[in-house]
Structure 1
Amino acid sequence: MPNRIIFSLIVLLVSLNLSYGQENIPSSYYETIDPPLYGIVIKGDNVIINTEIPDILSKKNIASFVKPQTLAIITSIHKSLPYVYIETESIRGWFNQNYIQIISPEEFDKIFNLQKILLIKPILIDDVVYPPATKLPILKEYKKSFKVLISTSDGFIEKHINKKLATKPLKPRLSNLKMLTKIFNKKPYVWANNEEGWDCSGLIQDMFSFFDIQLPRNSFDQINYSDSIDVSDRTLKDKEKILRQSKPYFTFIYFPGHIMLYTGKRGKDYLTFQALSRIDEKKIGYVGFFPLKKTGLLKKVTKIGYISLNKLDKKYSSLNHPKEDL
């Protein structure tokens, strides 16, 4: 079966991925592309929810950031605006057509089938920012670098990426999860993600992508991917007891609209790693370690879930490449 067909099936099967756009505007505003085109993102940008409002780039109208070199299926084109409707492994929505390059089905298959590296530090290639967790297809591995294939508006180019800047997919170990917190710690909180910052579910998704696991994009679906229990009616002492029995770095903590990673007990409090916008009226605005009790977040928690990485790796990973420690 061609890999582009497998990709299409992944897009369909992971139906709980975020979908924005076509249901918000009349079909007369866009033209369906049949058969669909295959493309690759050449500059990262956010998808747009509704193309028919006056300020289409307002905060309320932007959704998930799509990283450069992301494969996509193009199913529709807007008749008057420079936007196409794309479907990736984790998001669907309207995307700036100037930032996506059409490729042939054979090129799509080749890129899909190549083993990927993930960036652990941001890099700049031809004025395009590639943030951490960006996946790049490997052509050849050397002692100190990876030769990768990059799609541009002028065609494909080859680049060497120093191994200090990237890694192959990692094994789901505690040491690797701790290392990943160092990559994202103190980065800005940015709604829907962008080249420099993350929101809560975008952070969780990108962290676990280093294990070749494709988690869904929003917090509600992420907690429901885990083996979770409802603690909305539990007392604070009950929640503390559950956390004491939970596995640090493999446990999600959730309340409506927000998700975080439990990282262990510290003194009499319980530490989490999260992208936090604010606590009530107090602005926070960055990724970091935050205690649950001192911040008052523990009382808000409604679900606690354990992530079984072996189960998720088999069920939700789009690729099955060898994994290694960093």
Structure 2
Amino acid sequence: LILSVPITDKEGKAFLSDVVVNPTHAAYIPIKSSPRNFAQLINSLKGRPYGWGGLSYYNDCSAELKGMFLPFGIWLPRQSRDQIKITEMVDLSTDTPTQRLTYLIHHGNPFFTIMYIKGHIFLYLGNFSQVDQKSPMVMSYQNIWGLGNVARDKISIIGAAVFLPLLLSYPEDPNFNSLLSRDTFQVSHLNHLPPGYPNLILPYIL
């Protein structure tokens, strides 16, 4: 593939230069929204530091999802509160944490269901069996700053893009405030976008 990329000259001014890229390192987008492609993309992003509002060119939660869905031709707004509204939203804010978990187990679409808890948004990955529990564990992917405690007087810093199980409580410290127990809990399924929603077409290259 031949790409035109901006580089600097000796005076520090930008100009376009054609470069050749191996097809294994680049692709026309939109690419196929397959579990394999999602997994490859997420695998390249995990562990990257959290950046408030894009600080130091790192992602916060909404920038992480916006950048992740772009290669698949799905345009997301920049803010988390807007991302959850692009398709029909299911508001589970009046449900209990157990009811929310049950909804995700039965209605979640891996890689296409996003969850919003006011100020934070994250991606549903699927259900995973546990030997010692009757119900499956719901796994999510997100770029998160940290987990607060129930008293809301301290926070345990994560500060990175991570895989995080959605548990009613965390065995490492039961005082952590579960993401399932936040006052706001809304869900949207991006595989049910409304007709005419903006999608990318060729020849964009990633």
**Fold-level similarity (TM above 0.5):** yes
Which residue identity lines up with residue 185 of structure 2 in the other structure? T
Which one has the largest radius of gyration?
1
Equivalences for residues 1-326 of structure 1 within 5 A: 146-152=1-7, 153-169=13-29, 170-193=31-54, 197-245=58-106, 246-266=108-128, 267=130, 268-280=136-148, 281-293=155-167, 294-295=169-170, 296-300=178-182, 302-308=185-191, 311=193, 314-317=196-199, 319-321=200-202
Q: Using the alignment, how far apart are the partners of 1:306 and 1:154 within structure 2?
A: 41
Q: Using the alignment, how far apart are the partners of 1:312 and 1:174 within structure 2?
A: 22
Q: CA deviation at 1:190?
A: 0.9
Instruction: Tell me, yes or no, if the aligned pair for 1:248 and 1:263 is still in contact at 8 Å.
Output: yes
Counterpart secondary structure, 1:286: strand
Pair 1:210–1:312, CA change in 2 (3 A): farther
Pair 1:159–1:275, CA change in 2 (3 A): same
Instruction: Tell me, yes or no, if the aligned pair for 1:188 and 1:196 is still in contact at 8 Å.
Output: no
Q: CA deviation at 1:244?
A: 1.1
Counterpart secondary structure, 1:298: helix
Deviations 1:107-142 (CA, angstroms, capped at 9, x unpaired): xxxxxxxxxxxxxxxxxxxxxxxxxxxxxxxxxxxx
Counterpart secondary structure, 2:162: strand
Gaps of 5+ in 1: 1-145
RMSD: 2.3
Counterpart secondary structure, 1:225: coil
Q: CA deviation at 1:171?
A: 1.4
Gaps of 5+ in 2: 8-12, 131-135, 149-154, 171-177
Instruction: Tell me, yes or no, if the aligned pair for 1:256 and 1:302 is still in contact at 8 Å.
Output: yes
Deviations 1:142-185 (CA, angstroms, capped at 9, x unpaired): xxxx2111234343221222334322221122222222211111
Counterpart secondary structure, 2:53: coil
Q: Using the alignment, how far apart are the partners of 1:172 and 1:154 within structure 2?
A: 34
Q: CA deviation at 1:237?
A: 2.1
Question: Identity across aligned pairs (percent)?
Answer: 27
User: Which is worse superposed, 220-229 or 278-287?
Assistant: 220-229
Equivalent pairs, count: 177
